[in-house]
């Protein structure tokens, strides 16, 4: 029923135009809330977008273009009503770490490649939507994401510390940057460091005292006033400098995809990161406000946001949890808040850019450092170490990969690590050997329940996973190992319980053929119980049923064991002696 309903919706073009849904139920009382949220979001976006543009190696106004135009694009096709879209710290660093080599020192070409990356993200988003690839986001586990975010946060922080200390910095990865920074600490400009530390303190304490308020913008305003009155630029304090007034001109890409080697992997990494972060944040707010989020539609939302941002010479944008939390706390009821935020930013670009010229770069570094703090979830890493070492190893792999290789290579390594983690888990299924629960006709894992009564003359095993090509040999080795631990001739029957195996492929069926042949050579019968319908179909098609007997859905381990017992066997559940 649910699937048919979804299919019916997908045939209606309004299903792919989310504003048609929330506009139809829009209330006049929501308008004021959306206006306030939009203005508040713009106030948050101004210092953050300036900082992230600098992090990406682009002029400061490009960051504002991303918030202004990306928000409009997402409001048109995105399915979340609270998600705020704009430049993010991780994508900004990804651009900085990748585009520089492509541009070969040409500043104009650098900006063109960054804009082409946003166009390519839009194109890949459309392709992913057509191919229904939204399911691929599940390749990145939560554990991998924790490690990746921590690595990204540390890497981003290290790129901002030179601006905080007033030194040159440099380096290609986290450790290289840290080494160079340590060597330059003797050149620290203490007035710059003081400005940055004061800004960090004001932002941190201000956000605690006034949650949901544009504290960072207030700190930026105070910093500009102080820098102007105290003549800090004349004292050598690095500042933002002139920001061109006016709105961006809209134009298509000036470069072609074939002109830039590596643009597709860069855009794919941006899209993967944008989709994971955006959908994760969007689901949080959809659950809070009790409406349905369409994960596949989010691909169109991200694509539209990046397309419009690219038309305005921006670079890739994404939805983020921090800016969306600001939007939500300010009272946003629908995506109309993004439209009002864009209008506010347009007003600022037209009339207020001259006020930002004396903004110290140390303050922008403080904005970034306080913004990425939330990425460092070390308590989660400690919990993984305590609860699941395998998840901790996966998270640590992603973290170290980002620190050593950078954001783009780090997220690709994270995706690869997720796949490898799934294969490792699938290749080592628990094979439970069953014994009777005392006083019952039920059976469970002997290893987990020492009081279970072992079987006499039989071995019953239950693979607790789908039996597929990556684990079929492991299952067979476990059974033959168990058989080798018994006295020769003590076992007359081996029972395979497939009730915990929802799927089996041809490799699993081949394993059952080989197990039957091995057991038959020793005079031991093989029976199969508990197979699901699709599994029975495959085993019958592959002629396994002809060898092991009828795959009766009503057969139980107890009924098979009773058929084994001869009248002379007084205690059918007596344990056969084990070797060694």
Average pLDDT over residues 526-531: 94
Pairing of strands 458-463, 318-320: unpaired
Quote the pLDDT of residue 97: 84
Task: Please give the pLDDT value at position 218.
Answer: 87
pLDDT at 138: 66
Query: Residue 373 — very low, low, confident or very high, per pLDDT cuts 50/70/90?
Result: confident
Closest by CA position to 49, among listed 59, 39, 40: 59
Least confident of 84-98, 284-298, 399-413, 446-460: 399-413
Query: What's the average model confidence in pLDDT over 453-466?
Result: 92
pLDDT(578) > 60: no
Most confidently modeled range among 142-156, 419-433, 523-537? 523-537
Least confident interval from 111-115, 408-412, 470-474: 408-412
Work out the burial of residue 68: count CB atoms within 10 Å of its CB; fewer than 13 is exposed, 13-18 middle, 19 or more buried.
buried
Report which of 63, 61, 121, 125 is spatially closest to residue 92, judged by C-alpha positions: 63
| pLDDT band per the 50, 70, 90 thresholds, residue 127 | very high
Q: Quickly state the pLDDT bin for 137 (edges 50, 70, 90).
A: low
| CA Rg value for the chain | 31
pTM for the full model? Answer: 0.73
pLDDT in tens, 531-575: 999 999 999 999 999 999 889 888 889 888 888 764 344 343 343
DSSP states of 55-123: HHTS-HHHHHHHHHHHHHHHHHH---SS-EEE--HHHHHHHHHHHHHHHTT-HHHHHHHHHHHHHHHHH
Report the percentage of the chain scoring pLDDT > 70.
94
52-61, 247-256, 277-286, 447-456: lowest mean pLDDT where?
Answer: 277-286
**Three-state DSSP class for residue 525:** strand
Position 14 scores a pLDDT of: 61
Q: How far is CA 175 from CA 89, 179, 473, in A?
A: 19, 6, 42
223-227, 485-489, 538-542: least confidently modelled range = 485-489
pLDDT score of 434: 93
Q: 86: closest CA among 109, 59, 101, 68?
A: 68
In DSSP terms, which residues pair with 486 in a beta bridge?
Answer: 578
Question: Would you state the pLDDT for residue 567?
Answer: 39
Confidence (pLDDT) at 122? 97
pLDDT of residue 213: 75
Q: Is it the case that residue 408 has pLDDT exceeding 80?
A: no
354 phi and psi, to 5 degrees? -65, -25
Token pair in block for residue 523: 């005079």
Burial class (CB in 10 A: 0-12, 13-18, 19+), 131: exposed
For 337-359, the pLDDT digits (tens) are: 999 999 999 999 999 888 888 88
Domains of the chain in start order, with CATH, are 28-334+358-420 (no CATH), 431-564 (3.30.750.24)
- Taking only the tens place, the pLDDT of each residue in 183-205 is 999 999 999 999 999 999 999 99
């Amino acid at each position: 029923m649910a699937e048919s309903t979804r299919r019916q919706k997908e045939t209606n073009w309004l299903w792919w135009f989310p504003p048609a849904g929330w506009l139809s139920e829009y209330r006049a009382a929501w308008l004021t809330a959306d206006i306030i949220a939009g203005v508040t979001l713009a106030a948050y976006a101004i210092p953050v977008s300036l900082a992230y543009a600098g992090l990406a190696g682009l002029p400061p106004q490009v960051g504002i273009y991303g918030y202004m135009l990306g928000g409009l694009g997402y409001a048109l096709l995105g399915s979340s009503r609270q998600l705020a879209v704009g430049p993010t710290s991780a994508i900004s660093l990804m651009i900085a770490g990748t585009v520089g080599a492509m541009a070969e020192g040409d500043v104009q070409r650098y900006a063109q490649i960054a804009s082409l990356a946003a166009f390519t993200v839009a194109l890949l988003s459309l392709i992913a939507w057509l191919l229904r690839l939204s399911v691929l986001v599940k390749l990145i586990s939560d554990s991998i994401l924790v490690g990746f975010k921590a690595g990204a946060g540390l890497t981003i922080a290290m790129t901002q510390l030179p601006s905080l200390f007033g030194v040159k910095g440099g380096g290609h990865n986290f450790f290289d940057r840290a080494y160079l920074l340590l060597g330059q600490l003797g050149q620290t400009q203490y007035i710059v460091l003081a400005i940055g530390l004061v800004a960090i303190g004001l932002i941190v304490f201000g956000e605690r005292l006034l949650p949901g308020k544009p504290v960072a913008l207030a700190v930026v305003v105070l910093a500009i006033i102080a820098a102007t009155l105290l003549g800090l630029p004349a004292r050598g304090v690095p500042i933002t400098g002139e920001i061109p007034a006016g709105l961006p001109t809209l134009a298509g890409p000036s470069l072609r995809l074939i002109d830039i080697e590596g643009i597709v992997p860069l855009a794919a990494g941006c899209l993967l990161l944008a989709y994971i972060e955006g959908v994760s944040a969007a689901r949080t707010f959809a659950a809070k406000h009790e409406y349905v989020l369409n994960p596949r539609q989010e691909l169109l939302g991200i694509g539209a946001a990046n397309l419009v941002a690219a038309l305005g010479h921006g670079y890739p944008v994404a939805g983020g949890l921090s800016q969306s939390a600001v939007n939500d706390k300010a009272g946003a009821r629908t995506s109309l808040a993004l439209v009002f935020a864009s209008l506010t930013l347009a007003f600022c670009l037209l009339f207020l850019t001259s006020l930002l010229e004396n903004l110290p770069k140390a303050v922008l570094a403080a904005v970034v450092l306080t913004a990425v703090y939330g990425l460092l979830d070390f308590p989660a890493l400690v919990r993984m170490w305590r609860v699941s070492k395998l998840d901790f190893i996966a998270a640590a792999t992603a973290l170290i990969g980002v620190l050593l290789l950078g954001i783009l290579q780090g997220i690709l390594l994270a995706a690869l690590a997720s796949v490898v983690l799934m294969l490792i888990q699938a290749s080592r299924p628990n094979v439970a050997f069953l014994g009777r629960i005392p006083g019952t006709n039920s059976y469970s894992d002997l290893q987990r329940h020492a009081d279970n009564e072992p079987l006499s003359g039989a071995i019953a095993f239950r693979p607790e996973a789908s039996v597929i090509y990556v684990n079929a040999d492991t299952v067979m080795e476990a059974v033959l190992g168990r058989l080798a631990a018994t006295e020769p001739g003590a076992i007359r029957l081996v029972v395979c319980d497939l009730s915990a195996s929802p799927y089996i492929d041809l490799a699993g069926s081949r394993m059952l053929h080989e197990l039957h042949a091995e057991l038959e050579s020793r005079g031991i019968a093989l029976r199969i119980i508990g197979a699901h319908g699709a599994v029975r179909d495959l085993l019958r098609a592959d002629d396994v049923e002809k060898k092991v007997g009828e795959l009766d859905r009503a057969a139980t381990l107890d009924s098979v064991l009773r058929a084994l017992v001869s009248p002379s066997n007084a205690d059918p559940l007596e344990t056969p002696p084990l070797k060694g």
